[in-house]
Amino acid sequence: EPEVTQTPSHQVTQMGQEVILRCVPISNHLYFYWYRQILGQKVEFLVSFYNNEISEKSEIFDDQFSVERPDGSNFTLKIRSTKLEDSAMYFCASQGTRNEKLFFGSGTQLSVL
């Protein structure tokens, strides 16, 4: 089965630093998502992306967050100035068409010290 690939699997950063989390969605998929899961809590929607623009975002996705699809294969999440509370597992997901299932990557564990 095709896979969504996320790198790195673990990222440690200092508070206030910028981080970029990378994702390679499934080829030919058109819809892209970021979700996150704080340890012990539920998985939460952050943002959806289609046709090179954000289609929907949650309250969590404030001005410190941005997403980009810089080329035909990568999809990135940037956190400009990380805070302690940004520590979480970040999942990328992609979807072929609106009614198809989401495929999730294995996640990037972000630790902000």
Partner 1 sequence: QQQVKQSPQSLIVQKGGISIINCAYENTAFDYFPWYQQFPGKGPALLIAIRPDVSEKKEGRFTISFNKSAKQFSLHIMDSQPGDSATYFCAASRIQGAQKLVFGQGTRLTINP
**Distance between CA 100 and CA 111 in Å, rounded?**
32
Write down the least CB distance from residue 89 to partner 1, Å: 9
Under the binding rule (CB under 8 A), the answer on residue 25 touching partner 1 is no
Six-digit token pair at 33?
């998502």
Q: What is the DSSP letter of 46?
A: E
Closer residue to partner 1, CB minimum distance, 70 or 98: 98
| Residue whose pair of structure tokens reads 């990328």 in the numeric block | 92
Contact with partner 1 (CB under 8 A) among 35, 38, 72, 87? 35
Contact of 93 with 37, CB cutoff 8 Å: no
For the chain, the farthest-separated pair of C-alpha atoms sits apart, in whole angstroms, at 40
| Residue whose pair of structure tokens reads 């990380």 in the numeric block | 82
Closer residue to partner 1, CB minimum distance, 52 or 98: 98
For partner 1, the binding residues in 37-96 under the rule CB under 8 A are: 41-45, 48, 50, 55-56, 58, 91, 93, 95
Contact footprint for partner 1 (CB under 8 A): 4, 31, 33, 35, 41-45, 48, 50, 55-56, 58, 91, 93, 95, 98-99, 101-102, 104-107
